[in-house]
Structure formats: C-alpha cells, structure tokens
C-alpha cells in the first residue's frame, strides 16, 4: 500500500450513513467556498478521483500531472484531518466511470460545484441527468454571467475593456467617488519598461522533499515517463501551507515591481516579477476573491496594483465568460477536431516520432472547435517540442515551457503565439500545445487566449486584431536578440515574416481601423521587399517543417 493511502487510512473518519457527499473536481481544491464551506465536517464526505484515463488523454506536461496529483492528495489528507470522510478513487477509468461506479455501489448521490472545464462538465452530464450528481453554482468566480452581459452586451463582439470597467464600477475596486483611481481604468501604458537587471528578480520558492512528493515523482517517472517535460516536484506547492507560502512570496517579492516590468522578457529571469499564482488559483488552492482583495490593500504602486487587478478580472474572468458564452467557440464554428487528431505528422506525433497512445474516447467529447479566420493549416514543427528553431526568442521560451510548464503571459502572446501566427501554424494545434504544456492551462483558459485573442482565429469575437509584431518589438522588450544568431535590425526572419503575414492577408485586414497605419506602410513597401518577405516566409516554413534549425545562410542576402 502506498504512503499516501496509509496516511489517509490512518486519519480518515468513518463514512457513516448520515453524511452528505460532495464530488470535488481536480480544480476545486478548497473548503472556503461551496458545500464544504457550509456543511459541518462531521456531516460531509468527499469523493476525489485520480484518473489515469484523463492523464493520458493528452500528452500533458509531467509537471502538470505532478501539480494536480500532489495537491489533490494533500487536499484529501487535509480534509480527513478536519473530520471530513474521504473516498479517494485511483482509477484507470474516466472520472465519469469511476464516480458512477462509486455512487451506484454506495446507493447514494453527490453534489458538485459546476466544473470550470467544459470537458469535465460534458463528461459528467449523464450522471447529472440520472440524478446521481446534483450540480450547483461554482462559487469560486469573482463575476457572474450577468456581469458579463451587462458589461459587454448579449452578443459578439465582446470587449474586455467594457467588461473590466463594469466590474470595477460594480465592485468599487480601485474606484473613488465613482471614478478610477489615478484618473484612468488602465495603466497599461505605464507597464511597458524593459528590464535591465535592476531591481533584481526574485527566485521562486522551493519545497523540501517529503514522502508525498517522493511517491508522486516515482509514480510519474514509472507510469507517465512518455509524457513531455522535466519533472521537478520540489518546485511545486502541494499543501495549503505551501500555497500560503507562495502567496506571501508573491506579495513581498513580486507585486511591488510587477507593473513596470509586466511586459518585459529576459534570458536572465524567466518569471521576472510575475507571481506565478495562476496554477494555484486555477485549482482554487488560493481563492481569486481573496487574492484580489488582499492585493488591493498592499502598499505598492498603483500601476502594479491595477495591472494585477486587470490580469485577474480583465482577463481571467473575461476569458472564462467568453468560453461559456460561445460554448468553447463551438457556437461560432461547426467544425470540430476529431478525438484522434494530432497524431502522426505534426501536432502531438512529431515530438515522440510516433502516434500518441490516446485512451478510448468518451461519447460527447470532441477535440475542440476549429476557428481559423486566416485559414492557417501548417502543423507545429518539432521546434515547439525541442526548442531548436535557431531563433533565440522562441527557443528560450519553448525551453522554459518544457523545463517548468510555465512562461509568463507576454512570452506566450508576443513570442510563441506571434511566431506561430506569422508562420501560419494551425491555431488548433497551437491551442492544444498550450493546453498540454502549461501547468495552469485548461480549456476555458487556452481556447479564448489562443483562438480568440493571440491568433485572432475567431475573428473579432473578443479582439479587434491579431497580436502580431516584428523583431523590433521583441528586441525592445527583451534581451533575447543579444544572444541570437540573427540581428533584429538585419537578417532576423521575424522582421520579414511580419510583413509577409500582412501581405498575404492584405484584403482581409485592409478595413481594420487599428491596422490602418501599418497597412498604409505595407502599400508603400517595394515590390522587391514584398517578394523577399514571401521568400523568407517560405524558407522559414520549409526549414522548420524539416526539423532543421534556421541559420542566416539559409536566406538570400
């Protein structure tokens, strides 16, 4: 028997017949909201499911598997310690199958807060219909569907700034006498400084190895060794105490300097002053409301305070509502990804050199919507798995993803997504790459952020233009170019890839008011430059498709 199971058996109270049972999904590990916050511990029991089927559904980063295993097991022990009866199911089956079997055998039913992930909601739907599960409102969110519609309207296009203003006005966050502190809602223009090394960037917390971490690490190395990414369990918070330690570190070491360097990127620090709270917040080890309200009391600059608030409300809450309102973009596009796609050439197959051994699909689950406004179909190259493109900016970020399962939001947006968009990589492939690679990624996070925002693949549903930039932006906001074989002002392919993208989609983008100035510049671009732009695009695609690193000699002078 495992260490975890021995520990749980030693402290687990008797189930009894009078307890109200609660199914706790993997991303609701809290007793501060929902049924666990209102029911006395001695009157409640919880069911947790550790599903091998779910873990093998996609090639999730090993660090993501470890984060969820560690926190779910630690949460089970914490709940048993406070008097809650715990049924912890380790299964090769899906969550649905394991939960149904448990409930039918016990002759009971369970209550569950509405899961954040659409996939899990679909998976559990048959149990809700049969009365085995009672689904209630998820109390972990900061805003409601009414907030969303009051701020943005009932139909697309939906705009984040309108939603953000509405929530600020309703809650009074950073407001005074009905007006925003500092005279404006967004201090984004104050948050665009490059980082030169001063102030020093903090090191992230690490946690001592213990029996729980050792057991989870051993399990993942044995059973999930084919999954990508480096495993480092000492870098992961697991217990409620660990989560508190991480929040204390974020408040002291990160938030005072977060604002000015929010958009900065560096080889010297992967995280700079980003708090890295999203993995904990997205599984509710730390509650969003508490984090927001405590951050507003800190003695930190207004631009840091507002920038953090905008991340929590303006984007986190907004993208959740977008995903809900569009049914994961399915209501906008009838095409679906087959459950068996992303194998073979491109996608998930090329990093292994073989087909991903996906478990049998469940009825009702597909692979996601296929929004693709620019009709980009190129599969992701091996460089997205091995970090060997020859472009230092991309390789640096890709290596950080497979080292840590994380990179901050500007590297996601203006390096990875930007380059993928310029090279016409499939937005669905890119979405799923984010989904499997990042430890804070779930469907409601990645589909709006990639399909809706960074690639603009869903059109103007939530953004007015694609988030693309040339080498000048990356050079301005980072030190990546200093160690690159390409020169940002000379032979860097990203410089011409930017113009080539605008050229290919000139008719589609010509009427976009936010691109009016740059499209006018495109029209003045010489025929020779346009031809060279197209040549650089073709060579770059071909080299990366072949799994080769880019070199200056690849391109005509």
The pLDDT of residue 212:
97
Rounded-to-integer distance, Cα 296 and Cα 500, Å: 44
Q: At what angle do helices 62-81 and 240-249 cross, to 10 degrees?
A: 120
Q: Domain map of the chain by residue range? A: 3-136, 145-318, 383-554
In the chain, the largest separation of any two C-alpha atoms, in whole Å, equals 80
What are the tens digits of pLDDT across the range 258-282?
999 999 999 999 999 999 999 999 9
The pLDDT of residue 152:
95
Residue 313's closest CA among 329, 291, 297?
A: 291
The pLDDT of residue 120:
97
Question: Does pLDDT of 111 surpass 50?
Answer: yes
Question: Does pLDDT of 334 surpass 90?
Answer: no
Strand 110-113 relative to strand 133-136, pairing: parallel
The class level of CATH for 145-318 reads mainly alpha
Question: Does pLDDT of 354 surpass 80?
Answer: no
Helix (H, G, I), strand (E, B) or coil at 136: strand
CATH of domain 383-554: 1.10.579.10
Superfamily of domain 3-136: HUPs (3.40.50.620)
Confirm whether 3-136 and 145-318 share one CATH topology.
no
Using CA of residue 159, residue 160, residue 163, residue 164, what is the dihedral sign?
A: negative
User: What's the whole-number average pLDDT of the chain?
Assistant: 94
User: 543 and 554 in contact (C-beta within 8 Å)?
Assistant: yes
Place of tokens 């690159």: 484
The pLDDT of residue 343:
44
The pLDDT of residue 351:
55
What are the tens digits of pLDDT across the range 25-59?
999 999 999 999 999 999 999 999 999 999 999 99
Question: Does pLDDT of 1 surpass 90?
Answer: no
More confident residue, 333 or 316: 316
Residue 259's closest CA among 196, 187, 203?
A: 187
Question: Does pLDDT of 350 surpass 60?
Answer: no
Residue 374's closest CA among 427, 446, 431?
A: 427
Question: Does pLDDT of 293 surpass 60?
Answer: yes
Rounded-to-integer distance, Cα 388 and Cα 394, Å: 9
Mean pLDDT, rounded, for 300-305: 97
Query: Please, is 145 exposed, middle or buried when counting C-beta atoms within 10 Å of its C-beta (0-12, 13-18, 19+)?
Result: exposed
What are the tens digits of pLDDT across the range 41-50?
999 999 999 9
Q: Which residues pair with 425 in a beta bridge?
A: 378
Mean pLDDT, rounded, for 211-224: 97
Rounded-to-integer distance, Cα 105 and Cα 103, Å: 5
What are the tens digits of pLDDT across the range 157-194?
999 999 999 999 999 999 999 999 999 999 988 889 99
Query: Following CA atoms 172, 175, 176, 181 in sequence, which dihedral angle do they give, to the nearest 10 degrees?
Result: 170
Mean pLDDT, rounded, for 305-331: 95
The pLDDT of residue 356:
72
| Preceding peptide of 418 cis, ω within 30° | no
Percent of the chain topping pLDDT 70: 95
The pLDDT of residue 365:
86
- Token pair in block for residue 203: 């090191």
The pLDDT of residue 345:
44
Rounded-to-integer distance, Cα 128 and Cα 137, Å: 14
């Amino acid at each position: 028997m495992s260490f975890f199971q021995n520990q749980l058996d030693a402290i687990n109270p008797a189930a009894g017949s009078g307890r109200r049972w609660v199914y706790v999904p993997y991303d609701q590990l809290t007793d501060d909201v929902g049924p666990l916050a209102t029911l006395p511990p001695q009157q409640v029991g919880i069911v947790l499911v550790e599903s091998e089927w779910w873990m093998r559904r996609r090639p999730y980063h090993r660090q993501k598997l470890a984060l969820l295993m560690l926190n779910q097991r630690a949460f089970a022990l914490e709940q048993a310690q406070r008097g809650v009866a715990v049924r912890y199911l380790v299964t090769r089956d899906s969550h649905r199958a394991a939960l149904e079997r448990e409930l039918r055998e016990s002759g009971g039913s369970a209550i569950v807060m509405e899961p954040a992930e659409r996939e899990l909601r679909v998976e559990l739907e048959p149990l809700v219909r049969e009365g085995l599960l009672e689904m209630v409102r998820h109390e972990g969110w900061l805003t409601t569907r009414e907030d969303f519609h009051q701020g943005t309207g009932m139909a697309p296009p939906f705009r984040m700034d309108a939603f953000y203003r509405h929530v600020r006005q309703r809650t009074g966050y950073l407001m005074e006498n009905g007006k925003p502190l500092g005279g404006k809602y967004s201090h984004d223009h104050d948050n665009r400084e490059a980082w030169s090394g001063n102030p020093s960037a903090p090191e992230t917390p690490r946690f001592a190895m213990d029996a729980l971490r050792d057991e989870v690490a051993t399990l993942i190395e044995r059973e999930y060794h084919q999954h990508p990414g480096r495993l480092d369990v000492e870098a992961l918070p697991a217990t409620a105490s660990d989560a508190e330690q991480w929040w204390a570190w974020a408040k002291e070491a990160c938030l005072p300097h977060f604002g000015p360097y929010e958009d900065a990127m560096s080889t010297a620090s992967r995280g700079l002053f980003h708090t890295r709270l999203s993995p904990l917040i997205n599984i509710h080890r730390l509650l969003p409301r508490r984090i927001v309200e405590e951050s507003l009391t800190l003695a930190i600059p207004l631009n840091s305070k507002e920038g953090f608030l905008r991340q929590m409300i303006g984007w986190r809450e907004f993208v959740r509502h977008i995903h809900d309102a569009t049914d994961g973009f399915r209501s906008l596009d009838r095409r679906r990804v087959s459950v068996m796609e992303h194998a073979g050439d491109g996608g998930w197959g090329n990093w292994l050199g073989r087909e991903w051994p996906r478990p049998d699909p469940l009825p009702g689950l597909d692979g996601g919507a296929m929004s693709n406004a620019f009709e980009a179909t190129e599969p992701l190259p091996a460089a997205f798995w091995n970090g060997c493109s020859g472009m230092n900016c991309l390789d640096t970020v890709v290596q950080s993803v497979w080292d840590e399962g994380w990179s901050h939001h500007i590297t996601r947006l203006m390096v990875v997504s930007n380059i993928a968009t310029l090279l016409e990589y499939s937005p669905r492939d890119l979405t799923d790459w984010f989904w499997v690679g990042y430890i804070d990624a779930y469907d409601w996070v990645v589909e709006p952020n990639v399909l809706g925002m960074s690639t603009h693949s869903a059109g103007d549903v939530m953004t007015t233009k694609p988030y693309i930039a040339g080498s000048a932006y990356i050079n301005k906001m980072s030190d990546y170019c200093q160690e690159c074989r390409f020169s940002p002002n000379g032979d860097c392919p990203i410089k011409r890839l930017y113009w080539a993208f605008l050229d290919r989609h000139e008719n589609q983008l010509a009427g976009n008011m936010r691109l009016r100035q740059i499209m006018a510049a495109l029209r003045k671009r010489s025929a020779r430059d346009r031809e060279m732009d197209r040549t650089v695009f073709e060579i770059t695609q071909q080299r990366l498709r072949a799994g080769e690193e880019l070199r200056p000699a690849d391109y005509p002078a």
